[in-house]
Amino acid sequence: MTKKRELLILITNDDGIKAKGLKSLVNVVKPLGKIVVVSPFEVHSGMSHAITVKVPLRVKKTREEHNLTVYGCNGTPVDCVKLAFNQILPRKPDLLVAGINHGSNAAASIFYSGTMAAALEGCINEIPSVGISLVSHNPDADLSATEFYSKLIIEKIIENGLPKSICLNVNVPKISLEKIAGIKVCRQTKGYWQEEFEKRTDPQGNKYFWLTGKFHNSEPEAHDTDEWALDNNYVSIVPIQVDLTSYHTMREIKNWNFT
């Protein structure tokens, strides 16, 4: 009988190597296989798919024990994934998990998220990937519900796989485990962040701006979206694809007269 190969799982995040969410995710995933963590040394929230091109990237091993190796990197979440694939991992991983992110990555937030960019980088490399977020920016938030559903969803990904170039965007509401109504597989909410820049003055008298704002839901009446799911105490799962092509618009533009 052929021995089943041990799973190799890559973990990263955008809240930095010291984040409670990262440590929590490692504890969830550790029983499932050999774990390699490559995480930014510092917080890189809102970095989206940024990569480092102007300064050298540096990696340092910070922890090693049975079936777990942890590296810190001075780059972005996507840098961490790229370096892991190219320089750190012994082979292509069987799964990439990004998180647990402190803060929602539902709706339009996915476009700014370093967590989901890391998951999408896994997609680009045809690796089953998932980004997991808790709708709380509290660095010491209660992660017990997120841990429970992370384990359930990750085990289902391992069992069933994911289509190529598809990853999952998972968001967990900020409530206790017993209050969660279940899981909703849904679509991304249509909406946008309405930014405001507060004009401030530093101690030297220099003007600067601080980004604030709130999310505007363009379809609050819709019941099949991630924002609705979270507002109604469900864990949301949105399948995300790498291909951003609008195929129906492509067909329409082909009918334009360019001559």
Domain CATH for 34: 3.40.1210.10
Q: What is the pLDDT of residue 3?
A: 57
Residue 135 lies in a domain: yes
Neighbour count for residue 111 (Cβ, 10 Å): 14
User: Residue 1: its pLDDT value, please?
Assistant: 42
Indicate the pTM of the whole model. 0.92
Residue ranges in 37-143 assigned as alpha helix (H): 77-83, 114-124
Domain assignment present for residue 65? The answer is yes
* Domain count of the fold of the chain: 1
Q: Which structural domain range is residue 64 located in?
A: 8-188+221-254
Domain membership flag for residue 216: no
Q: Is 193 inside any structural domain?
A: no
Query: 190, 219 in Cβ contact below 8 A?
Result: yes
Q: Does some domain include residue 195? A: no
Beta pairing, strands 166-172 & 234-241: antiparallel
Q: Quick check: is 31 in a domain? A: yes
Within 8 A by CB and 6+ apart from 112, the residues are: 46, 48, 193
pLDDT of residue 2: 46
In a domain, 25, yes or no: yes
Spatial strand order in the sheet of 68-73? 59-65, 68-73, 34-40, 8-12, 95-102, 129-134, 166-172, 234-241, 182-185
> Each residue of 201-253: pLDDT tens digit?
999 999 998 888 888 888 999 999 999 999 999 999 999 999 999 999 999 99
Tell me, yes or no, whether 246 lies in a domain. yes
pLDDT in tens, 11-62: 999 999 999 999 999 999 999 999 999 999 998 988 899 999 999 999 999 9
